[in-house]
Homo-oligomer: A and B are copies of this chain.
Amino acid sequence: MSINIAIADDELLFRQGLRAILSKHDDINILFDASDGKELVDELNTAKVKPEIIITDLKMPEMDGVQATKIILDTYPDIKVIALTSYFTKPFIVNMIAIGAVAYLAKNSTPALMVKTIREVHTNGFYYDEKVFGYIKNGANKRNTSINLSGFNQNMLSKRELEVLELICQQFTTVEIGEKLYISRRTVEVHRNNLLLKTDVKNVAGLVIYAIQHNLVTFDKFY
């Protein structure tokens, strides 16, 4: 009996590449793939045979892997989600685990590791390597005694914070942002400060990089 999986990644070539790699293994069967979180959720809902495992990229347009995972696990708590990304950052991993991802794969892993991860998740329900374990420990020690959703939400950016972050990336000053959002300069400063704290960066440069890295803003807005 083969393991039914689904893939989500915004790069078609990457998706097709994964298909080509995984198709070599008889015990792995790819049901469908999606180019972003929204497509993934839609395809999942309409699929007759549900996948046991979903491998999803975190950085995607429209809806990213984090949001998609939340929605999916809400409706299908038995589906195992493997997070896939190029960026191996502590907050990311901690958040993903907190949301319910059962494994974390770097994009520069070997195909062998990917297959191993899929099989481990299939048999054991999860797979964390030493690195991820290390991050979990460090991440957990930071604020909470254990990883939970409240700890996760503390790090998440609120709607307003995202608005402010986007305007910061568009090179607006605090005063200008206040005028745009019809709120006080002071309020914007609070949001800025919270952004620095939550994203754990030092200044505007860090915020912009964080925003781009986490796909919170799109390049298209600048050109």
* Most chain B beta-carbon neighbours within 10 Å: one of A12, A168, A169, A207: A12
Cβ of A69: which chain B residues have Cβ within 8 Å of it? none
Identical copies in the complex: 2
Interface presence of A109 (CB below 8 A): yes
Interface contact B20-A108, CB-CB below 8 Å: no
Q: Is the interface of A mostly helix, strand, loop or mixed?
A: helix
Number of interface residues of A (CB under 8 A): 42
Cβ of A11: which chain B residues have Cβ within 8 Å of it? 14, 86, 107-108
Binds B, one of A96-104, A126-134, A150-158, A198-206: A198-206
Partner-B contacts on A (CB < 8 A): 10-14, 16-18, 20-21, 24, 35, 86-90, 107-111, 114, 168-171, 173, 201-209, 212-213, 219, 222-223
Complex A-B: 25 CB contacts under 8 Å: A10-B86, A10-B108, A12-B110, A13-B14, A13-B18, A13-B107, A13-B108, A13-B109, A14-B14, A14-B107, A16-B17, A16-B21, A17-B17, A17-B20, A20-B20, A90-B223, A169-B205, A173-B203, A203-B204, A204-B205, A205-B207, A208-B209, A209-B219, A212-B212, A213-B223
